[in-house]
Amino acid sequence: MELDMKVEPRFVDHECAIIFSFYFRNASLKVGEAVIYTCEEDIPSLDQLLAGVENSEQDTCKKKIAYITEMTIVDNYRDESFMKINEFLSIIGINTWYKENLPIGKS
């Protein structure tokens, strides 16, 4: 089963975020779509953790994360769709993604 994926990015300037809309098709049949919100999250550096310091702007690292905000995919195509989404997110440097604040993807 050959699954085609189309991705449409949209930049949200005031949030410094990118929203990706994914559309999945098998031949001429639409089998699903997903909307994923991507952004950066501040994480403390190792030095901050060891020193017990929180949120020092200078030492704070940024971690790229993604949230699935909408998803409707036919069950037979769900696993392959997740694999394609995960591959795309890995290529752009996002290795952690969530749905309803629960981690569902790590590579």
Least confident of 28-37, 59-68, 82-91: 59-68
Query: For position 107, what pLDDT does the model report?
Result: 41
Whether residue 22 contacts residue 33, with contact meaning beta carbons closer than 8 Å, is answered with yes
Give this prediction's pTM: 0.76
- According to the model, what pLDDT value does residue 25 have? 96
Percent of the chain with pLDDT over 70: 74
pLDDT for 1: 63
- Give the bridge partners for 85, in sequence order: none
Residue 47 clears pLDDT 70, i.e. is over it? no
Q: Looking at residues 13-36, what average pLDDT do you find?
A: 93
Consecutive H or E run containing 46: helix 46-51
